[in-house]
Amino acid sequence: MKLAASAGHNEKVTGAHGFIVEHIENRKVLAGLEKYIKQLGWTFVNCTDDTSSTKDAIINGAIKKHNAHPDAESDVQMHFNASSGTHDRAIGVECIISTKARAKDRERAERITDKLAKELGLPRRKTIVTDYFGFPRQTVTGIIIEICFVNSKADTDAYKKAGPDTVGKWIAEAIANKEVTAPESIAPKVVPQVIKPAAGSVKLGEVKISQDVKAYAEPKFGTETGTVYKKGDVRHIYAIKNGWYQMFNGEWIPSNYGKNFEYEPVKKPEPTKVTPKLSEAKPVAEKTRLRRVIVDGERIGSFGDDSNLERNVLQALKKDFKKIEVEDV
């Protein structure tokens, strides 16, 4: 299946203005349509005229590009509607086709209108069938999609909430009559948050990677961060939990029973041996020995020096006495 599609207007003829600008949003929706119609297995051809500078020239330029692909299964062009004045109520979604449109294009137009009205939550307007149809295939085939009204706040709020990419997806699903199932490879991947070790954490050791090892945001499988540490890398370790080792950047690596890396703990310094300083030994003065002299019961004196003691004893001997006593004090 081949889809020939284009965005109406361009930077020189910008189309309708309101809460959004038509030619800008046309191209955003077209990009979404291209992405999702390809996922559904269709070939996509962009027939937008970005160079012409008048409305008629843009229409004719698009027709020429569309007609260059007669094998296209369908032809569509993105547009946004407008009405006089600014409206506070939703005005809705509609498609325009030619009176000469093929039955399958009429069916697709109805599906597109149904899908957009339902998903956007906007009124569904009747499909316009007209004899005047400047796009494409010289009025024979093709669908003009009027997504919503640019000067309706309710319309544009609903469109902005959905986003042009999603609107393009809905149109692709309606054209192909099949829902898009995004392959896992393009689904957004949620990367778990990595939390660094607390400030002031102390380095416990380091690892030398023995083989390529994936990093994880948490100490458990299924939280891969996308980082791979290569054989020979050396990393500092700040936490250890159930065989998982946390690095300074917060990532964890599993030891796998010691197969992934060699761990070397920080060697704690040996405590410094303090040799007590021997204070200079001061000789302890021997306590002076005092002895008293008593002559006939009368104390002559107490003496610590032997020479004094001897002198006083001799003096006492020169006198008349009956008894001389020397005793320790």
Q: What is the pLDDT of residues 99-150, one digit of tens each?
A: 888 889 999 999 999 999 999 999 999 999 887 655 544 445 689 999 999 9
Mean pLDDT of 6-19: 93
Helix (H) or strand (E) holding 46: strand 43-46
Give 83's pLDDT tier (boundaries 50, 70, 90): confident
pLDDT digits (tens, 9 = 90+) for 253-301: 999 888 999 999 998 777 777 666 665 555 555 566 777 777 777 777 7
Q: What is the pLDDT of residue 222?
A: 84
* Full set of structural domains in the chain with CATH: 2-183 (3.40.630.40), 205-265 (2.30.30), 291-328 (no CATH)
Q: Across the strands, what pairs with 294?
A: 299, 325
Which residues have C-beta within 8 Å of that of residue 272, sequence separation ≥ 6?
none
Classify residue 324 by its DSSP letter: E
Asked if residues 316 and 292 have their Cβ atoms less than 8 Å apart, the reply is no
Give the CB-side neighbour count of residue 32, counting CA atoms within 13 A: 18
pLDDT digits (tens, 9 = 90+) for 239-265: 999 999 999 999 999 998 889 999 999
CB atoms within 10 A of CB 286: 6
pLDDT digits (tens, 9 = 90+) for 135-146: 544 445 689 999
Place of tokens 């003065």: 285
Classify residue 54 by its DSSP letter: S
In this prediction the pTM is: 0.56
Give the CB-side neighbour count of residue 31, counting CA atoms within 13 A: 9
The string of DSSP codes covering 124-188 is BPPPEEES---SSGGGTS-EEEEEEETTBHHHHHHHHHH-HHHHHHHHHHHHHTS-----GGGSP
